[in-house]
Structure 1
Amino acid sequence: MKMPDGFGAITPYLFVDKASEYVDFLKAAFNAEELSRTMRGERVTNACLSINEARLFISDVTDDYPAMTTSIYLYVEDADTSIAQAVSAGGQCEMQATDEPWGDRTGGIRDQWGNIWWISQHLGLG
């Protein structure tokens, strides 16, 4: 199977209101790197971002593709620091980081667009 470099078989694709603002939030909250952006007038038709070597697509909503929320599990180097950074960028804390029985330290934030980010640090226990 052929895929573009840096992509896995599954890549989240989020449709959000004010996609440009959402890209800015992801940069501030998770140090996302914007790899590309395609515009149609003022509308983002496709932005590709990289967060910790994972790819994510973002697009402005349209009549055919309305806003929809999702939940994303994101591995980071330090869960507590990343949660604090995401809250500082405008996210709302859903759950403080705790050590989970499956070997991750996990907490969560909800972004202003309604998406939940489960921010996890693998502790190497499993």
Structure 2
Amino acid sequence: MVVPPGFAVVTPYIFATEADAYVRFLETAFEAKEIGRSTASDGRIANCQLRFDTATIMVSEASEAFPPSRAALYLYVDDADEAVVRAVSAGAEKIMDVDDMPYGDRQGGVRDPSGNIWWVSQRLSSEPYF
């Protein structure tokens, strides 16, 4: 099996209304880096790849055939408090305050402008979860 560098065997793929604005949100809120984009003849995003450190997601413009999707994503960051503030400033809705969790993460939650939930976590322990 061949998987492109930066991708995983399972890679999240989000269909978003106003995908270009959604990509800009991900760049601002979570410091995602656009690594590739293809556009349809009308200029809308057919596929955009965004890198989050070691992980990649894909985003496309939603359509009648592929309506907006909703997902819950778990994002590790260096500083959960700062990342949640940045995401809210970029347009996300805070759904859970940042707090220390019993499984060794400092975590908060936001809902992005497309309705996806992001659990923003900072690992506090070097121990495995279980």
Q: Could you list the runs of 4 or more consecutive aligned residues of structure 1 that deviate by over 2 angstroms after TM superposition?
A: none
* TM-score, normalising length: structure 1: 0.96
CA-CA distance at 1:125 after TM superposition: 5.3
Residue 49 of structure 1 corresponds to which residue in structure 2? 50
Residue type matched to 2:36 in 1?
S
Residue 33 of structure 1 corresponds to which residue in structure 2? 33
Q: 1:108·1:119 contact (CA, 8 Å) conserved in 2?
A: yes
Task: Note the residue ranges of structure 1 that are not aligned, 5 or more in a row.
Answer: none
Aligned length: 126
Q: What RMSD in Å do the two structures reach over aligned CA positions?
A: 0.9
What is the DSSP-based 3-state SS (H/G/I as helix, E as strand, rest coil) of the residue aligned with 2:82? helix
Superposed, 1:30-109 pairs within 5 Å as 30-40=30-40, 41-109=42-110
CA-CA distance at 1:52 after TM superposition: 2.1
d(CA) in 2 for partners of 1:23, 1:125: 32
Task: Note the residue ranges of structure 2 that are not aligned, 5 or more in a row.
Answer: none
Residue 19 of structure 1 corresponds to which residue in structure 2? 19
d(CA) in 2 for partners of 1:125, 1:99: 15
d(CA) in 2 for partners of 1:25, 1:123: 27
* TM-score, normalising length: structure 2: 0.93
